[in-house]
Amino acid sequence: MRALQLEKPLQFRSLELPEPPPPAPGEALVRVHRVGICGTDYSGYLGKMPFFSYPRIPGHELGVEVLAVGAGVSQVRAGDRCSVEPYMNCQQCPPCRRGSGNCCETLKVLGVMMDGGMCERFVLPARKLHPSSRLSLDQLALVETLAIGCHAVNRGAPQPDDHVLVIGAGPIGLSVIEFVKLSGAKCVVLDLNQQRLDFCRDRMGVQHTIFSKGDGAGLEALRDLTGGALAQVVIDATGSHQSMGHALNYCAFTGRLVYVGITQQEVAFPHAPIMHRRELTLLASRNALPPDFTRIIKLIEEGEIDTRPWITHHAAFDEMIDVFPTWLRPESSVIKAVMHVT
Ligand SMILES: NC(=O)c1ccc[n+]([C@@H]2O[C@H](COP(=O)([O-])OP(=O)(O)OC[C@H]3O[C@@H](n4cnc5c(N)ncnc54)[C@H](O)[C@@H]3O)[C@@H](O)[C@H]2O)c1
Ligand SMILES: [Zn+2]
Ligand SMILES: [Zn+2]
């Protein structure tokens, strides 16, 4: 069977692999139809992703079809189309036992720390499959990206009518925006990139956007929008350590700040005048939980999430190696690119 492998940074290759073994008890053999491409894959390609090791078959945003199941599997059967929860957790460590498999102490994400879905068929634990008879294969591949935003908004727990500031309107920020809207809170989006803010207004129904040059003018704009109170919940989806340090300034007194973007650098912020004086709560957000996948599938099925703005680019398996680098160029205006495996 065919697969695409990142041999090393900047070098994809197509390879022939032996067929996967039949599924063991608790496992399922799946055929991969769609693979969504995200920032993690671009960083892996560029050699800028610290958790990524080589050679690696990428692919963690998947729309698959069950081909066969092992003994004891009852939640899916052959023919089911599914989204994949790509977080392989041990089920034994303290966070797993507490129900936080999203941050298992030995977590391995498919396509990042272990081979993923850019192949025709593979075997995985059946409990990681979330079936839907109504979602398209493209929509199934989108569920994981949406789950990142869903979990981040759950961490911030906005109340209806709260102001939520989303900093960074890349795909992760957009997935956050979907769930801020569903919470009934008022969504404000801030970015340095006017094109991305325009997309939020024109395609995502966001009323309030703030263009920031990083010169502090954004704070005044947020004060104006919130009657001086600032945002009860701030969700930073930039991955910029400068933005993450500065984000506390946008928080209302007793507000909550969620870091869903990731940085390897140190984040610095003023403690006494901001963090302490406003009694802020700082939260990380890692991956997502199984109920997030179930909820998102239902929301798409019921039309509560409109996936149409999301997928902007497609490529067939055979084109992928040539097309992939073009998606890295800002002028391609990619929101979500999807590879068709079969
Ligand atoms: N928490 C998780 O489990 C999880 C999962 C996937 C990705 N991520 C992380 O989420 C982050 C965002 O991913 P993405 O694919 O949307 O990235 P992206 O680079 O496409 O988007 C980031 C956006 O932030 C904006 N930005 C950058 N610096 C800014 C600043 N100082 N002020 C305002 N806006 C600024 C950029 O203009 C851009 O629009 C990354 O750090 C990624 O690693 C986290
Ligand atoms: Zn992803
Ligand atoms: Zn664990």
Q: For 300-323, how does the pLDDT look when each residue is reduced to its tens digit (9 = 90+)?
A: 999 999 999 999 999 999 999 999
Please name which ligand lies nearest the alpha carbon of 217: 1
Secondary-structure breakdown of the chain: helix, strand, coil percentages, each rounded to the nearest 5: 35, 30, 40
Measured over the CA atoms of residue 58, residue 119, residue 15 and residue 316, the dihedral's sign is negative
Which residue has its alpha carbon closest to ligand 1 atom 17? 170
The model's confidence at residue 52, banded by pLDDT at 50, 70 and 90, is: confident
Alpha carbon 252 to its chain centroid, in Å, reads 26
* Ligand 1 pocket mutation, candidates 52, 195, 199, 238, criterion most atoms within 8 A of CB: 238
C-alpha closest to that of 116 among 72, 49, 53: 53
* Centroid of ligand 1 to alpha carbon of 90 (angstroms): 28
Ligand 1 lined by 285 (C-beta under 6 Å) = yes
Ligand 1 lined by 236 (C-beta under 6 Å) = no
* Centroid of ligand 2 to alpha carbon of 212 (angstroms): 26
Ligand 1 lined by 265 (C-beta under 6 Å) = no
Q: Where are the beta strands (DSSP E) in the chain?
A: 2-8, 11-16, 27-37, 61-69, 81-84, 87-88, 108-109, 121-125, 129-131, 163-167, 186-191, 208-211, 231-236, 251-259, 281-284, 311-316, 336-340
Residue 214 has pLDDT above 80, yes or no: no
* Centroid of ligand 3 to alpha carbon of 100 (angstroms): 8
pLDDT at 41: 95
Please name which ligand lies nearest the alpha carbon of 46: 1
Ligand 1 lined by 209 (C-beta under 6 Å) = no
Tokens of 319: 């084109």
Q: Pick left, alpha or beta for residue 333 (phi over 0 → left; psi -120 to 50 → alpha; otherwise beta).
A: left
CA distance 58 to 341: 13
Lowest mean pLDDT, pick from 20-34, 42-56, 276-290: 42-56
Helix residue spans in 104-253 (DSSP H): 137-156, 171-183, 194-203, 217-225, 241-246
For residues 227-251, average pLDDT: 97
pLDDT at 273: 97
Classified as helix, coil or strand, 339 is strand
At 245-299, the pLDDT tens digits run 999 999 999 999 999 999 999 999 999 999 999 999 999 999 999 999 999 999 9
